[in-house]
Structure 1
Amino acid sequence: MNFKILYISLLPFAVAVPSASAADFSIGFDWGNIKKCTSGNPNTVVNPKFTLRGVPAGTASIRFHMVDLAVPRYPHGGGKVAYKGESTVAPGAFKYRSPCPPNGRHTYQWTATALDAKGKKLGEAKARKAYP
Structure 2
Amino acid sequence: MKKVLLVAFVLLLAASCKQANMEPGGPELSVSFRFEKGHRCASVSPELRIANVPPGTKSFDIRLKDRDVPTWNHGGGKVPNDGSGVIGEGALSSYNGPCPPSGSHVYEFTVQALDAGGAVLATGRAKQSF
Pick the TM interval, shorter chain.
0.7 to 0.9
Contact persistence 1:20–1:57 (CA under 8 A): no
**1:62-85 CA deviation, whole Å, 9 max, x = no partner?**
010000000001010001100021
Measured in 2, the distance between the counterparts of 1:33 and 1:105 equals: 13
- Whole-Å Cα distance in 2 between the matches of residues 67 and 35 of structure 1? 15
Tell whether the 8 Å contact from 2:28 to 2:123 is kept in structure 1 after alignment: no
Q: Which moved more, 1:63-72 or 1:89-98?
A: 89-98
Across the aligned residues of Structure 1 and Structure 2, the Cα RMSD in angstroms comes to 1.9
- What amino acid does structure 1 have at the position aligned with 2:129? A
Q: Who wins on radius of gyration, i.e. which is larger? A: 1
- Which is helix-richer, 1 or 2? 2
CA–CA distance in structure 1, aligned partners of residues 102 and 37 of structure 2: 21
Q: Name the structure 2 match of 1:60.
A: 58
- Aligned-pair CA distance for 1:123: 0.6
User: Aligned-pair distance for 1:103?
Assistant: 2.0
Name segments (4+ residues, structure 1) moved above 3 Å. 19-22
Distance in 2 between residues matched to 1:107 and 1:32, nearest whole Å: 14
**Which residue of structure 2 aligns with residue 126 of structure 1?**
125
Percent of aligned positions that are identical: 35
Are the counterparts in 2 of residues 32 and 49 from structure 1 also a CA contact under 8 Å?
no
Residue range with higher mean Cα deviation, 26-35 or 61-70? 26-35
Paired residue type of 2:54: P
Gaps of 5+ in 2: 1-19
Q: How many residues align?
A: 107
- Paired residue for 1:15? none
Give secondary structure in 1 for the equivalent of 2:121: strand
Per-residue deviation at 1:92?
2.1
